[in-house]
Chains A and B, each alone.
Chain A
Amino acid sequence: MTVILGQTFTGISIGAVLLLIALGLSLTFGQMNVINMAHGEFIMAGAYTTYVLQKSISDAGMSLLVALPVAFLVSGALGALLEWLLIRRLYLRPLDTLLVTWGVSLMLQQLARDIFGAPNVQTRAPDWLTGNVTLIGGADPLTVANSRLFILGLAVAAVVALASTLRLTPLGRRIRAVVQNRDLAEVSGISTARVDRTAFFVGSGLAGIAGVALTLVGPIGPTMGTNVIIDAFLVIVVGGIGQLKGTVIVAFVLGVLQSVLEYSTTVSVAKVLVLVAIVAFLQWRPQGLYTLRTRSLV
């Protein structure tokens, strides 16, 4: 019983990381139908921001908390810059955008290698995140690392913040309008170009926050983005674009699935099985779990 619970909780914490990464993607992909392969490098930028801040602020807890907004701004600015330089020129060619942003991601990785060196670096976790919490005591205890709980909390907070921004603020209303019908939004007086850039800023900023979270569970390196980005894209594909709830549900489901399959087989076989499950799922719902209803043929 504890094993099952333990695996489920591991899965939930994998899912929380996936969710943090995929949240920004769902905004940029859903908003502009842009597949941003450099999203992984924005995660990396967030992680290196944490690393640099820890060098200047010696207190680990303080630097982590400062890193959250700073990483959001750094990655967000990178994203807005990318949107302004390249992506806005490519709106009608989503597949080309995918490849162009991959070129950008190559260059950003090399930049990180030149600045910070090729080997991975590590940050110190603050004291209040190093321990464990015992969920079930007794002879067969179930413990959960504090850092995992922190990431889960962060993911939930990010979802709540993004959902309420989309639902309650004028900016959110404009973003939803553009996602649902770009032309109609444009003729209603919404500057879609400006909304796009803002959405891209927020989506990329969320990648920065995911980067901060990743420093708690693994090393920081130039290729850390590439390692996680595919899984995050799969979350979007399965969850469907344009709505957050698909992303949230699928991130946790895939996380738990991955964790359970890893437990019963091996890590590498689990990856293959998850992919098979995804292709099978798409037979049932080719547009993803939740999708915006439109009257278009595609």
Chain B
Amino acid sequence: MNPLKGSLRPVAGFAGAAVLLFAVAPLALTDFRLGLLAKYLCTAMVAVGICLAWGRGGLLTLGQGVFFGLGGYAMAMHLKIADAGPGNLPDFMQLYGTATELPWWWRPFANPAFALAATVLLPMAVAALLGLFVFRRRVKGAYFAILSQALAAAFAIWLIGQQATTGGTNGLTDIQGFFGYDLDDPVNQRTVYFIIAAALLALIALARQLIHSRYGELLVAVRDSEERVRFLGYDPANVKLVAYVVAAGMAGLAGALFVPAVGIISPAMIGIVPSIEFVIGAAVGGRASLVGAVLGAIGVVWAKTALSEEFPAAWTYFQGLLFIVALAFLPGGLASLAGMLRRRRARQRKATVVAVGEAA
């Protein structure tokens, strides 16, 4: 492959995706469909992080919902306070709670700058804390997966338990405004969509840079042979920690943007099941390929919305089957299909050449 072609291809792909997201989709889709697409793109943002941590780093994080939720709740808390207006309590606190003023840990979220920073930094801090403890002691593989899943379970249960301050099972609902803009207005909904699309492209670009950097090489090396990397003088714990923390930040941003797009965040969206569903999309599309993971994530949530409304039972079977087939028989996901076909064709061509040569 000539070098120019190699460097132009991602740029062309990126430009194509930008045209699709910013020009084609808003023109072709109704407001309702565009809102759904915004939701799907949030899932894709989580998938970018999963591609980095799991596909490239081999860290099966079954708890991305926690980071998605932290980002979402941080954003929703600010928006609820803003909706209630100065001096008032958010509606659900007046309903369930006995508190007459905001709990102390809600108060900083009244500040928009703090809340915005927290949507990304809070998940990253939690991931750094858990990752530091877990990776330093070389807890890995399945053990790490279980711990990350337990974190998702514990977080969801904790949220449900604190009904007076977190809205419990209902979550934070009925969010009206987004930094002063009314979310009922379709124009503002469109703006939210554009912000989400831009954020997704930015995250993809960031992840691509990371993957193609020296660090990206090191990450794959840690995935494939951790001990060898250790003997070469690197500390695999740090390498893994960076991937995990970046993935958490991406999930946090996704959660934060999910809130204005959908208007609600609740424990049902961040517990064990949604956390695994984030992984499914990336697995089906191709965990190690950014394009595969993103398209897979969008495709799977799209299929879920389209099928589960009409055939909820059939969808569950289909989802399970999809998962089994993708992981057991196509570990590289759909993204690896093209490469497999290309290799097969090349092999056939070679076989033909050999056969022709023998005949002559």
Q: Report which A residues bind B (CB closer than 8 A).
A: 29, 33, 35, 86, 89-90, 93-96, 98-100, 102-107, 109-110, 113-114, 226, 230, 233-234, 237, 266-269, 271-272, 274-275, 278-280, 282-283, 286, 297-298
B323 touches A103 (CB 8 A): yes
Compute how far the CA of A103 lies from the CA of B324 in the bound complex, rounded to whole angstroms.
Answer: 6
A114 touches B327 (CB 8 A): no
Q: Is B173 an interface residue (CB 8 A)?
A: no
Set of chain A residues within 8 Å of B160, measured between Cβ atoms = 268
B316 touches A107 (CB 8 A): yes
B161 touches A226 (CB 8 A): no
Nearest CB on B from A234, distance (A): 6
B145 touches A282 (CB 8 A): no
B146 touches A269 (CB 8 A): no
Q: Is B206 an interface residue (CB 8 A)?
A: no
Contact for A98 among B142, B226, B322, CB less than 8 A: B142
Q: Is B341 an interface residue (CB 8 A)?
A: no
A279-B320 contact given A94-B141, A269-B158, CB 8 Å threshold: no
Compute how far the CA of A266 lies from the CA of B149 in the bound complex, rounded to whole angstroms.
Answer: 21
Instruction: List 10 extra interface pairs beyond A103-B322, A282-B147, CB under 8 A.
Output: A86-B328, A99-B280, A100-B323, A103-B319, A110-B317, A226-B272, A266-B161, A268-B157, A283-B133, A286-B138
Set of chain B residues within 8 Å of A278, measured between Cβ atoms = 147, 150
Q: Is B256 an interface residue (CB 8 A)?
A: no
Contact for A269 among B151, B161, B324, CB less than 8 A: B161
The range of chain B's interface size is 35 or more
Set of chain A residues within 8 Å of B323, measured between Cβ atoms = 99-100, 102-103, 106
Nearest CB on A from B270, distance (A): 14
The interface residues of chain B, by DSSP majority, are classed as helix
The interface residues of chain A, by DSSP majority, are classed as helix
Q: Report which B residues bind A (CB closer than 8 A).
A: 58, 60, 130, 133-134, 136-143, 145-147, 149-151, 153-155, 157-162, 226-227, 272-273, 276, 279-280, 283, 313, 316-317, 319-324, 327-328, 331
Specify the chain A residue showing the minimal Cβ separation from B231.
A297
A99-B327 contact given A106-B316, A278-B150, CB 8 Å threshold: yes
Most A CB within 10 A of own CB, among B130, B151, B153: B153
